[in-house]
Structure 1
Amino acid sequence: MTVIPEVAGVLARDDVLRTARSIAEVQQADGGVPWPDGHVDAWNHIECLMAMSVAGLVEPVRRGYEWLVRHQRVDGSWPMKIVDGRAVEHGGESNHAAYIAVGVWHELLVTGDEDFAREMWPVVRSALNFVVDLQTPRGEIVWERTASGRPADYALLTGCSSIHQGLRCGVRLAERLGDPQPEWELAADRLAHVLAAHPEAFADRSRFSMDWYYPVLGGAVRGDAGRARIAAQWDTFVVPGLGIRCVSDQPWVTGAETCELVMALDALGDRERALKLFTDMQHMRHEDGSYWTGWQFVTGKWFPHEQSAYTAASVILAADALSGASPASGVFRDTAAPALRTSPLASCGCHAASHT
Structure 2
Amino acid sequence: MSETVLPPKKSTSLFPVGFVRDSAAYILSQQLPDGSIPWFKGHYADPWDHVEAAMGLAIAGEFGAAEKAYRWLADIQLPDGSWWAAYKDGAIDNGERRETNFVAYVATGVWHYFLISGDKGFLQQYWSMVERAIDFVLGLQTEYGEIHWAVDAGGQPKEDALITGCASVFKSLECAINIASVLGVARPEWVRGRTALGVALQSKPERFDRTWESKARFSMDWFYPVLTGAFTGEAARARLQQRWDEFVVAGLGCRCVNDEPWVTVAESCELTMALLASGQRARAEIIYRGLHRWQDSDGGYWTGYVYRDQAVWPEEKTTWTVGAMLLAADALADLTPASGLFTSVCLPSDTAKDAQGVDSFDQLELSGS
C-alpha distance in 2, partners of 1:170/1:13?
35
Residue by residue over 1:190-216, the C-alpha shift from the partner in whole angstroms, topping out at 9 and shown as x without a partner, is 001110111221112011100000000
**Structural mapping, 1:243-258, within 5 Å:** 243-258=253-268
User: Partner of 2:344 in structure 1?
Assistant: 334
Establish whether residue 8 from structure 1 lines up as the match of residue 12 from structure 2. Answer: yes
Residue by residue over 1:245-283, the C-alpha shift from the partner in whole angstroms, topping out at 9 and shown as x without a partner, is 001100000000000000111111111100000012222
Establish whether residue 21 from structure 1 lines up as the match of residue 21 from structure 2. Answer: no
Establish whether residue 71 from structure 1 lines up as the match of residue 83 from structure 2. Answer: no
Conserved? CA contact 2:14–2:285, under 8 Å: no
Deviation at 1:340, TM superposition (A): 8.5
Deviation at 1:87, TM superposition (A): 1.0
Q: How many pairs were matched up?
A: 345
User: Partner of 1:196 in structure 2?
Assistant: 202
C-alpha distance in 1, partners of 2:340/2:253?
22
**Structural mapping, 1:21-100, within 5 Å:** 21-36=25-40, 38-90=43-95, 91-100=97-106
Residue by residue over 1:205-245, the C-alpha shift from the partner in whole angstroms, topping out at 9 and shown as x without a partner, is 01110000000011111111111110001000000111110
Conserved? CA contact 1:4–1:16, under 8 Å: no
User: Partner of 2:367 in structure 1?
Assistant: none
User: Partner of 1:311 in structure 2?
Assistant: 321
Conserved? CA contact 1:222–1:336, under 8 Å: no
Residues 82, 7 of structure 1: alpha-carbon distance in 2 compared, 3 angstrom cutoff: farther
Q: Amino acid of the residue matched to residue 88 of structure 1? A: D
Residue by residue over 1:95-136, the C-alpha shift from the partner in whole angstroms, topping out at 9 and shown as x without a partner, is 011111111111111001111110000000000000100000
C-alpha distance in 1, partners of 2:49/2:345?
19
C-alpha distance in 2, partners of 1:13/1:122?
39
Q: Amino acid of the residue matched to residue 23 of structure 1? A: I
C-alpha distance in 2, partners of 1:324/1:146?
40
User: Partner of 1:141 in structure 2?
Assistant: 147
C-alpha distance in 1, partners of 2:33/2:11?
32
SS in 2 for 1:180: coil
User: Partner of 1:167 in structure 2?
Assistant: 173
Q: Amino acid of the residue matched to residue 33 of structure 1? A: I
Deviation at 1:29, TM superposition (A): 1.5
C-alpha distance in 1, partners of 2:44/2:266?
18
Establish whether residue 151 from structure 1 lines up as the match of residue 140 from structure 2. Answer: no
Deviation at 1:8, TM superposition (A): 2.6
Counterpart pick for 1:283 among 290, 293, 296 = 293
Residue by residue over 1:316-340, the C-alpha shift from the partner in whole angstroms, topping out at 9 and shown as x without a partner, is 0000000112011111123378998
Q: Where does the alignment leave 5 or more consecutive residues of structure 1 unmatched?
A: 349-356
TM-score normalised according to structure 1 size: 0.93
Q: Amino acid of the residue matched to residue 52 of structure 1? A: L
C-alpha distance in 1, partners of 2:310/2:199?
42
Establish whether residue 185 from structure 1 lines up as the match of residue 168 from structure 2. Answer: no
SS in 2 for 1:79: coil
User: Partner of 2:237 in structure 1?
Assistant: 227
SS in 2 for 1:171: helix
Q: Amino acid of the residue matched to residue 237 of structure 2? A: R
SS in 1 for 2:94: strand
Conserved? CA contact 2:275–2:281, under 8 Å: yes
Q: Amino acid of the residue matched to residue 152 of structure 1? A: K
Establish whether residue 121 from structure 1 lines up as the match of residue 127 from structure 2. Answer: yes
Q: Amino acid of the residue matched to residue 216 of structure 1? A: V
Q: Amino acid of the residue matched to residue 263 of structure 1? A: M
Deviation at 1:10, TM superposition (A): 3.0
Residue by residue over 1:133-180, the C-alpha shift from the partner in whole angstroms, topping out at 9 and shown as x without a partner, is 000000000111111010111000000000000001100110000112
Structure 1, 253-262 or 273-282: larger mean CA deviation: 273-282
Q: Amino acid of the residue matched to residue 102 of structure 1? A: T
Q: Amino acid of the residue matched to residue 307 of structure 1? A: K
**RMSD of the alignment, in Å?**
2.0
Residues 211, 81 of structure 1: alpha-carbon distance in 2 compared, 3 angstrom cutoff: same
C-alpha distance in 2, partners of 1:2/1:287?
19
SS in 1 for 2:158: coil
Conserved? CA contact 1:7–1:322, under 8 Å: no
Conserved? CA contact 1:2–1:326, under 8 Å: no
C-alpha distance in 2, partners of 1:329/1:305?
30
Conserved? CA contact 2:3–2:20, under 8 Å: no
C-alpha distance in 2, partners of 1:102/1:51?
13
Q: Amino acid of the residue matched to residue 69 of structure 2? A: G
Q: Amino acid of the residue matched to residue 3 of structure 1? A: T
Residues 59, 319 of structure 1: alpha-carbon distance in 2 compared, 3 angstrom cutoff: same
User: Partner of 2:366 in structure 1?
Assistant: none
C-alpha distance in 2, partners of 1:335/1:145?
29
Deviation at 1:13, TM superposition (A): 5.3
Residue by residue over 1:7-50, the C-alpha shift from the partner in whole angstroms, topping out at 9 and shown as x without a partner, is 63131452121011101100112111001351011111011111
Residues 31, 195 of structure 1: alpha-carbon distance in 2 compared, 3 angstrom cutoff: same
SS in 2 for 1:97: helix
Conserved? CA contact 1:4–1:13, under 8 Å: no
C-alpha distance in 1, partners of 2:178/2:272?
24
